[in-house]
Amino acid sequence: MSSSVKAMIAKAWGGPETLVYEDLALPELGPRHVRIRVHAAGLNFPDTLMIAGKYQFKPSFPFAPGMECAGVVEAVGEKVRDLKPGDRVLATTGHGAFAEAVVTEDRNVFKIPDSMSYEVAAGFPITYGTTYHALVDRGRLKKGEVLLVHGAAGGVGLNAVELGRELGATVIGTVGSDEKAAIVKEYGAAHVINYSTESIKDRVKELTGGNGADVIYDAVGGDAFDQSLRCINWDGRLLVIGFASGRIPEAPANMALIKGCSIVGVFWGAFAAREPEKNRANFAALFSLFQHGKLKPHVSASFPLTQVPQAMQALLSRKTTGKVVITVP
Ligand SMILES: NC(=O)c1ccc[n+]([C@@H]2O[C@H](COP(=O)([O-])OP(=O)(O)OC[C@H]3O[C@@H](n4cnc5c(N)ncnc54)[C@H](OP(=O)(O)O)[C@@H]3O)[C@@H](O)[C@H]2O)c1
């Protein structure tokens, strides 16, 4: 049976101010579908790209943005085995999470530890999932290596600092303003560089005795990427996560040759769809770290569902740190 719920809806490509709070029809429940009553949803930079028509995937109108949420299972399709109504879960949804309820595939849904609140769980899967996959599967980060994280106070960035520390790396974080340095240090960075006033290349060389960083986690792109190629160690891995600066950089191939380094693409959503079992194992590892008190997800701001546009503006103004969460009454 289909039903409709209140949601924050995009009806045309545009900025946060173009979203409207209206009824949205939920799809029929397919055999592998799970319907979740949303308690909270996580905001991600790609949500702002999706409503502007600048994301890889363009849903048809009208649609609710929102790629991740936490809540309670309301109903499951006939082929769903491991989930039942009443389960506390988090989920990735592609889009649709900025709503009272959402329908997603069972492979995207994970039961959450009792000690994990809905607010924390809502902002957990995309940034931690991406970062674990990036550092462990793609970056092969080893104990004792130097990890350089750009945009280190942001959603994926702060997770990279924290997981890098847990994996035994020496972490150097970069930020765009001095106010963000404290949280990056608190989460485990040995050093913080302010890239609006300092040269990333010069400082990283100085901090690593001229060697450069072994693994670079780049969610910023633009100038940060260009400088990364000039301060990466021999056999380094430059992880291409995203382009929050707004510029997709181009890499001169001779730099990869001279440095003997690899430029490694990371697309967590595609990985999760192609390798669901490996993704599930990654989540088991992440939940275990959380339950042992090794991860402290940082939510710097929360907004009610009707204020998704304000939440997006706050994210885009670079004022927030860690995650921004949308709460649903
Ligand atoms: N590859 C994947 O699978 C994957 C998955 C999730 C996210 N991503 C990508 O990762 C990036 C970050 O996402 P997020 O959700 O962590 O975003 P976020 O919380 O907004 O963090 C982005 C960080 O980028 C920095 N930044 C530099 N220039 C910026 C600018 N012009 N506008 C906004 N921020 C700027 C900001 O730090 P300062 O102010 O300190 O500079 C900010 O903390 C996005 O490009 C996103 O698409 C990729």
Walk along the chain (329 residues) and give the pLDDT tens digit of each residue: 558 999 999 999 999 999 999 999 999 999 999 999 999 999 999 999 999 999 989 999 999 999 999 999 999 999 999 999 999 999 999 999 999 999 999 999 999 999 999 999 999 999 999 999 999 999 999 999 999 999 999 999 999 999 999 999 999 999 999 999 999 999 999 999 999 999 999 999 999 999 999 999 999 999 999 999 999 999 999 999 999 999 999 999 999 999 999 999 999 999 999 999 999 999 999 999 999 999 999 999 999 999 999 999 999 999 999 999 999 98
**Whether residue 262 is found in the same domain as residue 322:** no
Inside any domain, residue 274: no
Ligand 1 centroid–CA 239 distance in Å is 14
Inside any domain, residue 281: no
Pocket of ligand 1 contains residue 44 by CB under 6 Å: yes
Ligand 1 centroid–CA 185 distance in Å is 18
Pocket of ligand 1 contains residue 180 by CB under 6 Å: yes
Pocket of ligand 1 contains residue 246 by CB under 6 Å: yes
For 154: left if phi > 0, alpha if psi spans -120 to 50, otherwise beta; the answer is beta
Half-sphere exposure of 86 (CA within 13 A, CB side): 1
Nearest-angstrom CA–CA distance, 29 and 103: 7
Q: What is the CATH number for 207?
A: 3.40.50.720
Could you count the other beta carbons within 10 Å of the beta carbon of residue 142? 12
Inside any domain, residue 280: no
Ligand 1 centroid–CA 103 distance in Å is 27
**Whether residue 140 is found in the same domain as residue 262:** yes
Domain that holds residue 77: 4-124+297-327
Nearest CA to ligand 1 atom 4: 241
Q: What are the start-end ranges of the E strands in the chain?
A: 4-9, 20-25, 33-43, 68-76, 88-92, 101-105, 109-111, 146-149, 170-175, 191-194, 213-218, 232-240, 262-265, 299-304, 323-327
Q: Does 329 sit behind a cis peptide bond, omega within 30 degrees of 0 on the bond before it?
A: no
**Whether residue 182 is found in the same domain as residue 232:** yes
Helix (H, G, I), strand (E, B) or coil at 117: coil
pTM (predicted TM-score): 0.97
Pairing verdict, β 146-149 and 170-175: parallel
Inside any domain, residue 152: yes
**Whether residue 97 is found in the same domain as residue 142:** no
